[in-house]
A and B are shown apart, each in its own frame.
Chain A
Amino acid sequence: MNEPMLGGMAQTALDRALPLLRPGNTNCGGCGMSSLLQMLGHAAADRTLQFVMPASCAAVCGGVFPLSTFGVPTLMTTFASGAAAASGAAAVAQLNGEDTRVVCLAGDGGTYDIGIASLSAAAERNEDILYICYDNEIYGNTGGQRSSATPAGAIATNLRQGKQQPKKDILAIIAAHRVPYAASISLAHADDAVRKMRVALDLRGFRFLLALSPCPTGWKSEPALGMELVRLAVRSGLFPVLEIFDGRRHVINIEPDFSDEALDMYLSLQRRFQRSGITAADLRPDLDQLWQNLRALSGRIVPARRSS
């Protein structure tokens, strides 16, 4: 009861014959996308999956021809076409009565930026796709440039002083399409993440999962601390963990404690925030507003921010 709630999650009788992400992949050590794929593997258990991946670190880690890093059939597409190609694959699976879950795995560049048109269209068409965005808040594959997912205060290789604008609220954008299921998942809360992955895998229609994905290389942080960073982001309210059903019903899954201590810790453990010197106090007004909106959407009474 006291142990982390992992019972039956890993290495069970339901394990896939092959992991989704196999050893020998070329992702950096401590990559959040790797963690995500491990958890997705546990969540998927013996379900039939097919991956579609636009240009991304995931695409690069797929291995050099003819190797296949992923334990399921995988199609690499152009950067902007993740959701489109997945639509095609899902359509054919459906036409053939196959129970294949077509999973489009994309980074934030392929989701928030170049791929947003095809993503939005696929969402609007309610294609039978599970779209997972591993959001490391930069163009990691090209060495760490700014994307519209880059948070305020972070530098990037093409951004000297720290981004001025807050990151795009992609979850709200997707929810506005009234898709059956959109959720953000915390990789640091494996029980919550795996549960929602299962929900998303088993629903039909367009499902969207957003994972804050630590990138030690781009965030300039200790690889070992990736999960802790996610935890801090969740705790502080920076990364809200919620589910949105049909674009209407909002359920907050993990209550933050809104502590500035966690937020400052989050910022200080990543060198990308160093130059701008951004602090919890700078971010808090926006976060308060964000959460006020979320409270209103989730129909919950606004709790007082814990005074420190």
Chain B
Amino acid sequence: MNHQSHAGNTGQAHTNVLPVGLSFPLEVRVHGRGGQGGVTCAKLIATLYSQMGLQVQTFGDYGSERSGAPVQAYTRVDRVAIANRNKVYRADHLIVLDRSLMGPQVLSGAAPGALLLLNTGAGLDSYAGRYTNCRLGTVDATAIAREHGIGSNAVVIVNTTILGAYARLLGVPLAVLETAYASLGLSDDLAAAQHAYDAVQVRDVIRPAGDAPTTSVLSAEMPAVGPLTGHNVDCPPTLMTGAWSSQTPSYQDHDAPCNLACPAGNDVVGFVQALGRDGAEAALAILLRTQPLPSVCGRVCPAPCMQSCNRKSFDGAVNIRSLERWIADHSDLRPVQQAAERRRRIAVVGGGPAGLSAAYQLALHGHGVAIYEAGPALGGVLRSGIPAFRLPREALQRDLDRILALDIDVHCNSRLGSDDLRRLGDDYDATIVCIGFGPAFGLSIPGAELDGVEQGLAFLERVKCGPVSLQGQVLVVGGGNTAIDCARSALRCGATAVKLVYRRGREDMPAIDEEIEDAESEGVRLALYRQPVAFAGNGNVSSALLAEVEAGAPDASGRRRPVVTQRASSVTCDKVLLALGQGQDMDLLPSDWEIRKDRAWRGDQAEQTWFAGDCASGDGTVTHAIGNGRRVALAVLRSLNGEAGELPSGATGTVAPAQIRFSHFEVTPPHRDKQISPSARRVSFEESNLGLSGPEEAGRCFSCGHCTQCDTCLLYCPDGVIRRSGDGYRIDVNYCKGCGMCVAECPRSAMEMHEKTT
């Protein structure tokens, strides 16, 4: 398929002066790969010279191969008509569109002092000592063309770009290319040519005699050709098509949004996938790296992971919380305490979630830990503040038992003061204070002191300690989980009706959405955009005056500020439970200390006393407390070891929904938790949510950013160069053409495409 054509019939001859230093006949050879535009490149060169009033001839020397295969094209230039119709064997100018083509065949027969223009990502310096008999120009035309969007990602068309560099080497202004490009309809590419014109690096001939003597292609011996009638054996292909590609795929984990969203820092994808693949034990092993309280979090976590789940907009978020519960309920795995290089003794003040998490991490790393808990038992708010129908005592106890199996001393009923805190500094290598929130907020309104107006947390603790009996109408004030817990507990204590008063809208309620739904289904009624402005009663509260609230301008949190109006109405009530949140209370802190970045400082002196959980961060969820406790514990260890700075984040980029191939997945609605019927559960403190009936929900996890060996890449690789290997896959780079199909088809963004640099 040797196709010859005369190019350059572009009408009026250009009046450009000839570049200096050209001798005729001039022979140009372009080496490229199919798809890079080598033939058009030669044609453009012919057009260029034609404009200078010279005779030209150009033709491509095609192989039978396709996109990516080596192709040569020739341009011949002379002052007189050109009769020679042979290929170019002795090139004056060599233009190489792909540096992987460089070899003896390209250099063969190059005229002494030939111009060699090379498309390469490596700078001119990397060619020191090579091609010394040529005038060498290098330019990264691929990067430039890609930047200008010429061609596709897999097959970048570089011809028009590299010609900019060629013009520079010829010493002609770029403007001379304009007509040539216009004649072939390529004017859009002039910007890329300009870019290359500016970027090309040039080196003059160093040793005219050259490197090794170049051989002529004519001397190459032709291989013997067997007769067709003797051809009956298998001769596998020998072509290494891997050399064709400009980009190459690799397996690369990316951050799943659930992992990033988990305040505790759990490897959500890791444990969910492990559950589906290897069962609860394996999943728990992953959870226990970061999560000492899976039974608890599997029940009460607000699960921001589910909010950010990429499956949410497809067919519903994976029920991650309940999977965590399933795992915790179905494995007795105990974590293995590691041996510390240097064992530290660390005191943890407070046995709530943050304290437990900090203690757990420290013990896990082989350090001695003592917990000082003010209350009679560990657990903090988990023990006293979350009703049993949401978090049964046994569930908490399972987690506590697992934690306490590590080397941890527990001192309950030890409420510490500031002197104690100072003293701990002497007894321990470090102290972590995790005392949680301070007292609950009250209401400064008329009638707040009446009997029957009670703090919700106190009520919840009472309910947890023994049977509490209520009658009549109960009003709960607040919109958080404590408010919901109070409302639902009140129903169970015998209240006739429970009304929850909240000053914003339902969507603003901080409580877990499902909990609100459950409360409503049990009969709790919501009174939204209402705020009590007075309680009345004779000794015991008997009514509340509820003012209407309007949504004002958004505040710093983005929520609209409630504006209390003058419109109010009275409702009867026999009991008021306040769930308005808690403040931070640092009575414990010695007066000359202050907290900066989770750490106590006395003046400029950093103390080995740290703060974690709600008392430091005020995030207010168990999960945040766990994460915070862990991070502070690890920071303490680093500090004790004299290591500075933060832990490396290791972030690899979040997998956005757009990076998930939804089409690879079947629509499968989430597995819901089994619930006791609202009528049955509203009278019982038994756990109302029975969790999942099996671990199948794990199968819904997309495993965003993490390879599951689903074989999609293997199956869709057009060249079959991906094979399973060990725990993953192996790509045969000798044959991979870099089409990117595997990366594009990966359902979960666990692969990446890289430009080839070497």
List residues of chain A with CB under 8 Å of any chain B CB.
Answer: 1-4, 6-7, 9-11, 19, 21-32, 34-35, 38-39, 41-42, 57, 60-61, 63-69, 188, 190, 216-217, 221-228, 231, 235
Contacts and interface: CB of A to CB of B under 8 A. Distances in A.
A28 B68 contact: yes
A215 B700 CA distance: 34
B237 A29 contact: no
A68 B351 CA distance: 73
A22 to B, nearest CB: 6
A26 B245 contact: no
Interface in B159-185: none
14 contacts: A1-B666, A3-B747, A4-B711, A23-B237, A24-B238, A26-B241, A27-B66, A57-B66, A67-B237, A190-B716, A224-B740, A226-B718, A227-B741, A228-B745
B231 A29 contact: no
A1 to B, nearest CB: 5
Given A2-B699, A3-B710, A223-B740, A29 B244 contact: yes
A58 to B, nearest CB: 11
B208 interface: no
Contacts of A231: 663
Interface in B217-247: 225-226, 228, 231, 233-241, 244-245
* Majority secondary structure, B binding face: loop
Contacts of A29: 67-68, 154-155, 244-245, 718-719, 737-740
B560 interface: no
Contacts of B228: 65
B510 interface: no
Contact of A223 (B64, B65, B155, B233): B155
Contact of B665 (A2, A31, A188): A2
A1 B668 contact: yes
Contacts of B152: 216, 221-223
Contacts of A24: 236-241, 735
Nearest to B701: A2
A45 to B, nearest CB: 14
A228 B658 CA distance: 13
A28 B237 contact: no
Interface stretch (B102-110, B636-644, B720-728): B720-728
Contact of B664 (A4, A21, A61): A4
B744 A227 contact: yes
B735 to A, nearest CB: 4
A114 B100 CA distance: 40
A232 to B, nearest CB: 9
Contact of A66 (B231, B666, B719): B231
B337 interface: no
A208 B69 CA distance: 32
Nearest to A4: B664
Contact of A10 (B241, B696, B711, B740): B711
B717 interface: yes
B333 interface: no
Nearest to A38: B720
B245 to A, nearest CB: 7
B79 to A, nearest CB: 34
B714 A217 contact: no
Interface residues of B, number: 64
B427 interface: no
B584 interface: no
Interface of B: 34-35, 64-69, 152-155, 225-226, 228, 231, 233-241, 244-245, 663-666, 668, 696, 699-702, 708, 710-712, 714-721, 723-724, 732, 734-735, 737-741, 743-745, 747, 753
Contact of A35 (B35, B238, B716): B716
B68 A68 contact: no
A26 B34 CA distance: 11
Contacts, number: 181
A51 to B, nearest CB: 14
Contacts of B708: 3
A228 B744 contact: yes
A26 B741 contact: no
Contact of B741 (A10, A67, A223): A223
Contacts of A31: 66, 718
Given A2-B701, A39-B715, A41-B720, A217 B66 contact: yes
Contact of B64 (A6, A19, A26, A38): A26
A52 to B, nearest CB: 17
A216 B753 CA distance: 18
A35 B744 contact: no
Given A6-B711, A6-B712, A26-B69, A21 B64 contact: no
> Lowest 5 A-B CB distances belong to which pairs?
A24-B237, A224-B740, A29-B739, A29-B737, A30-B739
B734 A23 contact: yes
Contacts of B700: 2
Contact of B236 (A67, A221, A226): A67
Given A29-B154, A35-B716, A217 B732 contact: no
A38 B739 contact: no
A188 B741 CA distance: 11
B720 A19 contact: yes
Contacts of B699: 1-3
Contacts of A66: 226, 231, 233, 235
Given A11-B724, A67-B235, A216-B152, A38 B718 contact: yes
B562 to A, nearest CB: 40
Contact of B719 (A1, A25, A67): A25
A64 B738 contact: no
A35 B714 contact: no
A302 B671 CA distance: 32
A4 to B, nearest CB: 4
Contacts of B226: 66
B714 to A, nearest CB: 5
A11 B721 contact: no
A32 B717 CA distance: 10
A22 B154 contact: no
A226 B716 CA distance: 10
Given A41-B720, A222-B154, A11 B739 contact: no
A6 B235 contact: no
Contacts of A3: 699, 708, 710, 747
Given A24-B236, A26-B65, A217-B67, 4 more contacts: A28-B739, A34-B718, A63-B235, A223-B741
Contact of B714 (A11, A25, A69, A226): A11
B235 A60 contact: no
A24 B708 CA distance: 28
Q: Which of A3, A60, A228, A231 has its CB near the most chain B CB atoms (within 10 A)?
A: A3
Given A23-B732, A224-B740, A35 B718 contact: yes
A55 to B, nearest CB: 12
B627 to A, nearest CB: 28
Nearest to B233: A66
A65 B714 CA distance: 29
A11 B715 CA distance: 9
A4 B666 CA distance: 8
Contacts of A11: 711, 714, 723-724
Nearest to A234: B663
Given A2-B668, A217-B35, A64 B64 contact: yes
Contacts of B154: 29-30, 216, 222-224
B38 to A, nearest CB: 15
A283 B64 CA distance: 36
Contacts of B737: 28-30
B461 to A, nearest CB: 43
Nearest to B735: A23
A191 B245 CA distance: 29
A9 B711 contact: yes
A53 to B, nearest CB: 14
B715 A21 contact: no
Q: Which of B152, B234, B700, B724 has its CB near the most chain A CB atoms (within 10 A)?
A: B152
B711 A68 contact: no
A39 B13 CA distance: 55
Contacts of A63: 235, 237
